Structure 1
Amino acid sequence: MSLKKYELIKEIGSGTFGRVWMAKDCGNNELVAIKRRPKWQNVASREVEAMETVRGEKGIIQIKRCFYSLTPGGIIMQNVVMPLMSRSLGTFIRENRALRKHNSAHRISPELVKSISLQIVEGLAALHLSGYTHRDLKPDNILLMDVDGSEGNFPNINICDLGSSKKLMKNDINMPYVVSRFYRAPELLLGSCEYSEKIDIWGCIFAELLALDPIFVGRCPGKQRDSRVDVAKQGADEPFQILKIFEVLGSPNENDIKLLKNMIPKSINKMLDECIFAFKISSISWFEILDGFFTNEYVFIQRIISKYFFQGETAD
């Protein structure tokens, strides 16, 4: 299929795995998003394979079609056509953070936090049941589609950017340098190469919806900003990320330290069991909701859906 079928309007995002454009389908005038990247060898990208696997699943951005085009310089480009969403969850959080500057009491409503969180969990459940782990879940990789603005109508949520996703097999050795640092689970920070899909349910995004700021911002003392280049080249901030987790959740005790020594972990073990930072919504804490989330075997994500925090909730 030729790119001429689409009119590229403007670039709306970019990352490791390509650039995203707002485009118009010249056949029906529909506005869509097209993710473009150079084609790799003679196979479809892992992202396309993952998106095809979860086609039709709720809570995950859907692929409309994938086609290839040729640049004037002779480079074959992969083009993934997707629905055009309103904005990212990261943008939504930043908008609310800006509102808080003018009104210190401003927060995202508990009902909206519940709706967003449930939809994220449902999307992850579908992804994990398909065999894939996302490996880069963060607010900027979650998209919102605003609906009718009347009260009680919450935005639809879709997990996107499956470029880092992978089917993890037992006893496989996997690269631990995945997931953006502020959202990286402790076992990854400690160098585990034998992690599972449970790294996707570390819980930072739920907390950020409540606090309107990332809760684990670990930086080398003296750094004024997060420099991705410095982190990539020097790793200077990495040790301070795990220290920030301890600062927020509490210091590990002697037993925890013994567990830490064995981390190259298969799970987070019980390191956080007693020092979990419990946010409250309607007097229910996230720790109570997850009920053993941070124990030897993280709960499977289906259990999160069934917990009483979400009873009676739907993603509609």
Structure 2
Amino acid sequence: MDKGESLFCTAGKIQSGFSSEPILYSGRNPVRKSSPAPLLHGGKCWGQGGPGHLWLSPPRWLEGPGCGSGCHLSSVPSLQDVSKRLSLPMDIRLPPEFLQKLQMESPELPKPLSRMSRRASLSDIGFGKLETYVKLDKLGEGTYATVFKGRSKLTENLVALKEIRLEHEEGAPCTAIREVSLLKNLKHANIVTLHDIIHTERSLTLVFEYLDNDLKQYLENCGNLMSVHNVKIFMFQLLRGLAYCHGRKILHRDLKPQNLLINERGELKLADFGLARAKSVPTKTYSNEVVTLWYRPPDVLLGSTEYSTPIDMWGVGCIHYEMVTGRPMFPGSTVKEELHLIFRLLGTPTEDTWPGITSNEEFKAYNFTHYRAQPLINHAPRLDSEGIDLLTNLLLYRAKGRISAEAALQHPYFKSLGERVHLLPDSKCRLSPPKKGQNKGSWCLQVPLCSLRGAPAAGWGGSL
């Protein structure tokens, strides 16, 4: 028997067992005949059962000159067996060529970074540095900015990177400066959070929290059919964020579904404050080229530049209608067509409904047909009487008569949400999910609020 055979026969003898029958060893569990895992020694495979197998016997010396086919098995260990088992050498030496091969095949472990190297690597990233963020996908592109989905190397959280180009501007565009200055002071759960600002020679990058969808995408994903209860929840969150802005004398001026972001938890947040303004005097003169046409109030359409918070409330009414019906309220392509759609539904304004309108030069120039107001319930039948009343007060011709965001939050339309909604701190906005009976399969974007195509679930407390 050569040295290799002696080694493996000895290894076989130290395996204690309770059966006198030999056990087939395959390199894994000795009681299973699994796929063989050969034991190599100097490039050879040793064993009774052919290449890749060893027969492990009870602790008894095998009789005969080696471990060949003439091995005789005994089930009773002797004192000599035990003493030999205990006297096995502790430093079994493997052939040098095997050790060399093992060393060549083993991958080198990376050396731990020194404290100085670790500090150097961390100094490459941080707030205010473009290297801190990795661009993942392009989300959209506008006139002066491109928005990317990204990831922060600091927190590993997803972010939205609004990259504003500076090539054709002397410095940053006024809209970007305005957005930064306003958002730095707006800290509310229903307003998108500005995390970081990065200024380079070519661009100004605003780093926002990332939300999965906007209200327009949300409606499309729902087949333009939201549950009326979800409409109420989103309306309440929209009004909360807007009331916070108006309370700090800030007008958004560009409310539309695309600028209302929604995450998978059903949280709605106001975004895109590029057209927003801080107002010091309510009657300050501004540009009338604001607000996307479909959500622009008639006073601005007719050239008014003296406006205040009511400019946003008209847009809230249009969004409310769109959420309930699944279609835009006044989808005009020109200013004249937009006014025509408004007057055809709400009635052509008179001195009674809009004092001073008959002296407006642009209104007189259009020479609109006289329309009578149509009942809103005929166009939004899914709204209850309280919902129709709120919508009516949002869409008044006389700007000063429109309900404010703060007053709208107290409207009876939101009574079913419970009293606790009014006690929420500014840092919270999420509504509790339904407790029982909810058909989760019909949820849209898995928003944990209520069934998008049915009534609120039984037992839902309307708590926040």
TM-score normalised according to structure 2 size: 0.54
Structure 2 partner of 1:158:
269
Q: CA 1:37–1:212 in 2, change beyond 3 Å: closer, same or farther?
A: same
Structure 2 partner of 1:198:
310
- Which shifted more, 81-90 or 166-175? 166-175
Q: CA 1:126–1:283 in 2, change beyond 3 Å: closer, same or farther?
A: same
Q: Secondary structure at the match of 2:194?
A: coil
Gaps of 5+ in 2: 1-127, 363-370, 422-428, 432-464
Q: CA deviation at 1:292?
A: 4.3
Q: Secondary structure at the match of 2:401?
A: coil
Q: Which has the larger radius of gyration?
A: 2
Q: CA 1:201–1:2 in 2, change beyond 3 Å: closer, same or farther?
A: same
Report the residue type matching 2:330 in the other structure. Answer: F
Structure 2 partner of 1:91:
217
For 1:24 and 1:59, the matched residues in 2 are separated by 22
On the 8 A contact 1:33/1:84 being kept in 2, the answer is yes
Structure 2 partner of 1:251:
348
Structure 1 partner of 2:284:
172
Q: Secondary structure at the match of 1:311?
A: helix
Q: CA 1:158–1:276 in 2, change beyond 3 Å: closer, same or farther?
A: farther
Q: CA deviation at 1:110?
A: 0.9
Report the residue type matching 1:52 in the other structure. Answer: K
Gaps of 5+ in 1: 101-106, 148-154, 220-236, 266-271
Tell me if 1:298 matches 2:409.
no
Q: CA 1:212–1:189 in 2, change beyond 3 Å: closer, same or farther?
A: same
For 2:284 and 2:354, the matched residues in 1 are separated by 26
For 1:262 and 1:173, the matched residues in 2 are separated by 20
Q: Which runs of 4+ in 1 moved over 6 A?
A: none
Structure 1 partner of 2:296:
184
Which of the residues 187, 190, 204 maps onto 1:78?
204
Q: How does 1:121-160 map to 2 (within 5 A)?
A: 121-147=239-265, 155-160=266-271
Structure 2 partner of 1:233:
none
Question: What RMSD, in angstroms, separates the aligned Cα atoms of the two structures?
Answer: 2.7
Q: CA deviation at 1:283?
A: 2.6
Tell me if 1:12 matches 2:149.
no
Which of the residues 338, 341, 348 maps onto 1:241?
338
TM-score normalised according to structure 1 size: 0.78
Report the residue type matching 2:264 in the other structure. Answer: D
Q: CA 1:258–1:122 in 2, change beyond 3 Å: closer, same or farther?
A: closer
Q: CA 1:207–1:69 in 2, change beyond 3 Å: closer, same or farther?
A: same
Q: CA deviation at 1:195?
A: 1.1
Report the residue type matching 1:20 in the other structure. Answer: V
Higher relative contact order (CA 8 A, sep 6+): 1
Tell me if 1:277 matches 2:379.
no
- Which shifted more, 6-15 or 204-213? 6-15
Q: CA deviation at 1:27?
A: 2.6
Structure 1 partner of 2:33:
none
For 1:53 and 1:256, the matched residues in 2 are separated by 38
Fraction of identical pairs, as percent: 24
Tell me if 1:49 matches 2:160.
no
